[in-house]
Every structure is written in structure tokens, then in C-alpha cells.
Amino acid sequence: MSLNTGIFEADVIKAIDEALSLFGIFHFRNNTGAIKTTRGTFVRFGFPGSADFLGICPGGKFLSVEVKRPGGRLSPTQSAWLDAVNREGGVAIWVDSVDSLEQQLRERGVIK
């Protein structure tokens, strides 16, 4: 069952982008997917499951932030991506609000 909050993922993505900038974290939007060419073939881009934002934490750790709307869920490939980044020493989180972003970044020591 999906929680219908009236909040769209695009709205949360925009807010998270702005918050990462306010926190002074170098980051970029990482789009993944596929497009259909005029010849009818598909061109895939991005790494399957990779997060919505990639960046570098102060101090140099790799940062990966997956964004969901409230009530959203991770896909298995997204979960695998976050697990791999954390296992290799990076900071990988998934968030559904600026509050959850701030809380997790504080818990991981990324911001004070």
C-alpha cells in the first residue's frame, strides 16, 4: 500500500539538492534510466541502482544519497548500491525529507 501524501519525489529531490548545498557538500544530481532514440533503440545511462545524488563529504568520503517521497521504498538494486557504498567506507543513505537528511548526516558525522 502506498502512502499518498501529496508530496512528489521531484519536490523532495529539489529540497535535498538545496539542503546539500546549504550544508556545503559538493554534490551532483545523478540521473539513471533509458531513452528511446529516433531509430527505436534504447540508450541506457547511469549505473543501475545508483543514488539520486553523488558527492564528496567534507574530509573526502564518497557520498551517495537516494531520495524517495514520504512512503516511498527502495528497489533491490538501490538497496544493493547503498549497501556496497557503505561496505566500502563511503556514506550512503536514503532520505524522504530534509529533516531525515540532516539527521542522518549528523549521525554519520558528515555535518555538525
Residue 112 located in a structural domain: no
Which pLDDT score, from 0 to 100, does residue 1 have?
Answer: 38
Statement: residue 3 has pLDDT above 80: no
- Domain interval for residue 103: 9-107
Which pLDDT score, from 0 to 100, does residue 6 have?
Answer: 73
Residue 1 located in a structural domain: no
Residue 4 located in a structural domain: no
Residue 17 located in a structural domain: yes
Identify the CA nearest to 51 among candidates 26, 77, 23, 24: 77
Cα separation of 108 and 102, whole Å? 10
- State how many domains the chain has: 1
Which pLDDT score, from 0 to 100, does residue 2 have?
Answer: 46
- The residue ranking higher by pLDDT, 8 or 103, is 103
Cα separation of 61 and 52, whole Å? 17
Which CATH number covers residue 14?
Answer: 3.40.1350.10
Which pLDDT score, from 0 to 100, does residue 5 have?
Answer: 59
Residue 72 located in a structural domain: yes
pLDDT tens sequence across 19-55: 999 999 999 999 999 999 999 999 999 999 999 999 9
Question: Which string of DSSP letters, residue by residue, matches 30-75?
Answer: ---EEEE-TTS-EEEES-TT--SEEEE-TTS-EEEEEE--TT----
Residue 37 located in a structural domain: yes
pLDDT tens sequence across 54-111: 999 999 999 999 999 999 999 999 999 999 999 999 999 999 999 999 999 999 999 9
